[in-house]
């Protein structure tokens, strides 16, 4: 009976065994066991990497059909990082729809909640796909068998290493210790063996090792491909290296890595909203998922559909946190028309209700990276350097023509004064990140790594307890492992 349980422990890690046309294989874009075990072709190699991106999309129903309670209708970043924080409410009008989201918001969730379940399954499905791709691309005969050039092989392999590290970054920051699986799982016994949580230090080590490999494989340019600008670039790798260093408090490394982004061509856009309304022509976006409508498999931004159903509204606390006349407030959300502009990629409601919307999802951009550097500078005693970056972010905001087409009045977002008080500068940084990065899936992760989540959420009226620093391992995964997976404390 144990093998029956183990067969399902990592449903997203075990290969699917159906053999359909590779363009319509379900789940979308997955490489099947039969495809993986036969001689690869150039098409199957390309597909194995391309499909590894899909779990970063907001497309609807990638892993199931309307499984709301399982958290599988769309990926749950907005639920787990924004609704869970003091920035976002589930809906504009409270109702009983999708109570599992209310449980996340109120910190009454258990290990059966759909939020952690969906996050876990999306990430491990992404890992499964990248492991297949890496397995192909590290074959010694891959060039002779498929005809792929060394340059293209290296590029695709670099992308796959980055994507695997990104999925593990999501897992380790949300769950702590997690199973570390770095090769395709092909048998029940392998699944059984892998049903063990690795210490988070090992997971961080694997993330950083993958990124070192990726950095050495990708072209030394802003885009890996001038015709497919959505692909992982060296800049994306460097940015994730810096973010991993930030989360593990390697402050000097954060500063060094963020400094490497500017020579590749990254800088702040003149207008704050350009990152969300223009695609692959701006200066600031480092990594984004390329949503496209009318594609097979589907690649549209499905999160725009629930925005038309009343989901994802700002909290009063979030709205009140903005300084007077800060253009970023209206660029983030239009409360009059109930449009979350950042999520829609528009200022007039375009894309709202469109489950195949073409607007991209931004994962990393230069303003975020500069604020990582500011934080590292503050932690290492360079207070003037940290304040200079904070003021650079504020200057861009106050010189941005606002969403109404007007220049903010004089006196908006004045520069922060000089200070040698680390706590004061840290407070300014915390405020700046909230205004700059609101509704970009950063807030709860920031609060947790700063060690202030409990205090902030308690002040916000939420029942945040020490156990909530990590999400629970999905109970279905623990049950499937016959108890080999150990639950996080308190759940």
Q: What is the pLDDT of residue 1?
A: 32
Region 325-341 average pLDDT = 98
Residue with tokens 């702590």: 176
Do 292 and 198 fall within a single domain?
no
Q: Is the pLDDT of residue 8 over 70?
A: no
Q: What is the pLDDT of residue 103?
A: 98
pLDDT tier at 2 (50, 70, 90 boundaries)?
Answer: very low
Share above pLDDT 70 across residues of the chain, in percent, rounded to a whole number: 92
Is residue 469 in some structural domain? Answer: no
Distance CA(260)–CA(238), nearest Å, equals 7
Is residue 365 in some structural domain? Answer: yes
In sequence order, the β-bridge partners of residue 365 are 285
Region 366-381 average pLDDT = 99
The domain tally of the chain equals 2
Q: Is the pLDDT of residue 25 over 80?
A: no
Do 181 and 302 fall within a single domain?
no
Q: Is the pLDDT of residue 411 over 70?
A: yes
Is residue 454 in some structural domain? Answer: yes
Is residue 410 in some structural domain? Answer: yes
Q: What is the pLDDT of residue 186?
A: 76
Q: Is the pLDDT of residue 367 over 50?
A: yes
Do 279 and 173 fall within a single domain?
no
> 341-354 pLDDT, tens per residue?
999 999 999 999 99
Q: Is the pLDDT of residue 19 over 50?
A: no
Q: Is the pLDDT of residue 164 over 70?
A: yes
Q: In the predicted model, what is the mean pLDDT of the chain?
A: 92
Query: What is the residue range of 323's domain?
Result: 262-460
Q: Is the pLDDT of residue 31 over 90?
A: no
> 204-260 pLDDT, tens per residue?
999 999 999 999 999 999 999 999 999 999 999 999 999 999 999 999 999 999 999
Do 151 and 285 fall within a single domain?
no
For the chain, what is the HEC assignment? CHHHHHCCCCCCCECCCCCCCCCCCCCCCCCCHHHHHCCCCHHHHHHHHHHHHHHHCCCCCCCCCCCCCCCCCCCCHHHHHHHCCCCEEEECCCCCCCHHHHHHHHCCCCCCCHHHHHHHHHHHHHHHHHHHHHHHHCCCCHHHHHCCCHHHHHHHHHHHHHHHHHHHHHHHHHHCCECCCCCCECCHHHHHHCCCCECHHHHHHHHHHHHHHHHHHCCCCCCCCCCCCCCCCHHHHHHHHHHHHHHCCCHHHHHHHHHCCHHHCCCCCCCCCHHHHCCCCCCCEEEEECCECCCCCCECECCHHHHCCCEEEECHHHHHCCCCCCHHHHHHCECCCCECHHHHCCCCCCCCCCCCECCCEEEEEHHHHHHHHHHHHHHCCCHHHHHHHHHHHHHHHHHCCCCCCCCCCCCCCCCCCCCCCHHHHHHHHHHHHHHHHCCCCCHHHHHHHCCCHHHHHHHCCCCCCHHHHCCCCCHHHHHHCCCCCCCCCCC
Q: What is the pLDDT of residue 37?
A: 58
Distance CA(397)–CA(416), nearest Å, equals 14
> 276-286 pLDDT, tens per residue?
999 999 999 99
Q: What is the pLDDT of residue 365?
A: 98
pTM to 2 decimals?
Answer: 0.93
Is residue 242 in some structural domain? Answer: no
Q: Is the pLDDT of residue 10 over 50?
A: no
Q: Which CATH number do you get for residue 393?
A: 1.25.40.390
Is residue 283 in some structural domain? Answer: yes
Q: Is the pLDDT of residue 309 over 50?
A: yes
Region 323-330 average pLDDT = 98
Cis ω on the peptide bond leading into residue 27 (within 30° of 0)? yes
Q: What is the pLDDT of residue 297?
A: 85
Q: Is the pLDDT of residue 17 over 70?
A: no
Do 288 and 425 fall within a single domain?
yes
Do 214 and 268 fall within a single domain?
no
Is residue 327 in some structural domain? Answer: yes
Do 173 and 322 fall within a single domain?
no
Do 10 and 115 fall within a single domain?
yes
pLDDT tier at 471 (50, 70, 90 boundaries)?
Answer: very high
Do 2 and 102 fall within a single domain?
yes
> Exposed (0-12), middle (13-18) or buried (19+): which is 131, by Cβ within 10 Å?
buried
Do 207 and 272 fall within a single domain?
no
Do 149 and 294 fall within a single domain?
no
Residue 276 half-sphere exposure toward CB, CA atoms < 13 A: 24
Q: What is the pLDDT of residue 185?
A: 82
pLDDT tier at 36 (50, 70, 90 boundaries)?
Answer: low
CA Rg value for the chain: 22
Which range among 27-36, 140-149, 428-437, 456-465 shows the weakest confidence by mean pLDDT? Answer: 27-36
Q: Is the pLDDT of residue 360 over 50?
A: yes
Which range among 18-27, 41-50, 82-91, 183-192 shows the weakest confidence by mean pLDDT? Answer: 18-27
Do 98 and 15 fall within a single domain?
yes
Q: Which CATH number do you get for residue 109?
A: 1.25.40.890
Distance CA(455)–CA(441), nearest Å, equals 20
Q: What is the pLDDT of residue 191?
A: 74
């Amino acid at each position: 009976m144990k093998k029956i349980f183990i067969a399902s422990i990592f449903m997203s890690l075990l290969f699917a065994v159906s053999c359909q046309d590779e363009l319509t294989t379900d789940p979308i874009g997955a490489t099947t066991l039969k495809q993986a075990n036969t001689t690869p072709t150039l098409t199957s190699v390309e597909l194995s990497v391309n499909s590894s991106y899909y779990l970063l999309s907001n497309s609807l129903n990638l892993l199931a059909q309307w499984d709301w309670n399982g958290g599988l209708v769309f990926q749950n970043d907005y639920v787990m990082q924004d609704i869970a924080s003091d920035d976002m409410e589930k809906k504009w009008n409270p109702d009983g729809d999708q109570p599992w989201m209310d449980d996340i918001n109120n910190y009454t969730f258990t290990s059966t909640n759909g939020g952690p379940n969906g996050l876990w399954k999306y990430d491990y499905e992404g890992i499964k796909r990248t492991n297949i791709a890496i397995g192909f691309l590290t074959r010694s005969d891959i060039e002779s068998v498929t005809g792929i050039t060394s340059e293209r092989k290296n590029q695709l392999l670099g992308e796959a290493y980055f994507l695997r590290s990104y999925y593990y970054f999501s897992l380790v920051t949300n769950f702590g210790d997690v199973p570390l699986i770095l090769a395709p799982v092909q048998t029940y016994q392998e699944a059984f063996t892998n049903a063990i949580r690795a210490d988070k230090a090992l997971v961080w080590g694997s993330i950083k090792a993958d990124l070192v490999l990726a950095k050495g494989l990708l072209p030394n340019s802003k885009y890996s491909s001038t015709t497919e600008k959505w692909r992982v670039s060296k800049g994306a790798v460097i940015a994730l290296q810096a973010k991993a260093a930030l989360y593990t408090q390697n402050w000097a490394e954060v500063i060094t890595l963020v400094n490497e982004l500017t020579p590749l061509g990254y800088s702040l856009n003149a207008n704050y909203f350009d990152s969300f309304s223009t695609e692959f022509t701006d200066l600031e976006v480092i990594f984004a998922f390329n949503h496209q409508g009318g594609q097979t498999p589907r690649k549209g931004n499905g999160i725009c559909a629930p925005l038309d159903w009343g989901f994802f509204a700002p909290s009063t606390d979030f709205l009140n946190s903005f300084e007077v006349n800060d253009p970023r407030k209206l660029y983030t959300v239009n409360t009059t028309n109930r449009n979350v502009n950042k999520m829609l990629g528009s200022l007039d409601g375009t894309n709202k209700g469109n489950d195949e919307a073409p607007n991209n999802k931004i994962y990393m951009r230069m303003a975020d990276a500069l604020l990582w550097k500011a934080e590292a500078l503050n932690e290492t005693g360079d207070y003037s350097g940290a304040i200079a970056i904070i003021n650079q972010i504020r200057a861009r905001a106050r010189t941005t023509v606002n969403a109404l087409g007007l220049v903010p009045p004089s006196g908006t977002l004045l520069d922060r004064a000089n200070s040698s008080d680390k706590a004061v500068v840290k407070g300014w940084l915390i405020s700046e990140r909230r205004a700059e990065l609101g509704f970009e899936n950063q807030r709860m992760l920031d609060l947790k790594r700063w060690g202030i989540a409990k205090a902030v959420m308690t002040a916000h009226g939420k029942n945040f307890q020490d156990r909530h620093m990590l999400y629970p391992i999905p109970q279905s995964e623990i049950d499937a492992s016959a108890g080999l997976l150990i639950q996080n404390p308190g759940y």
